[in-house]
Amino acid sequence: AADAPLQAALPAVLRHFRPDASVAGLLDSLAAESDPAYTGWAARTLEILRGRSPLMMAVTREMLLRGRDLDLADCFRMELGVVSHAFTQGDFIEGVRALIVDKDNAPRWRVKTVGEVSEATVQSFFDSPWPRESHPLASLG
């Protein structure tokens, strides 16, 4: 659509949000944006991302990469498992606390920086809490 909010920034979006870019690489890339047409967008995007959970940004990146090769039913199953882990070992509850409960907008993330996110921790979000045959969404196509 011609009036899509990101349409004007699409070249920069495609350049910065590459599948081969790590979260740290994405943040560095946004910080280095020098094209005057995109510096404002990049700065706003960087500010938003720096306020998010480093761990959950890495998990989301992995989820998007995995989802490219899955059918819809497997995407739903994967997402349900990730959401379950987001409550138990992720930062969902802390984000809700900081934004909605205490309204201090000062989340205390489990992992403080993108550089501290371990690949093993990210991968653990994709270990299904349920055996495939007893997964709550097992009956999906």
User: pTM of the full predicted structure?
Assistant: 0.89
Mean pLDDT score across all residues of the chain? 94
pLDDT at 6: 87
User: Is the pLDDT score of 17 beyond 70?
Assistant: yes
pLDDT at 2: 66
What is the Cβ-side half-sphere exposure of residue 97, based on CA atoms within 13 angstroms? 9
C-alpha–C-alpha distance, residues 41 and 46, integer Å: 8
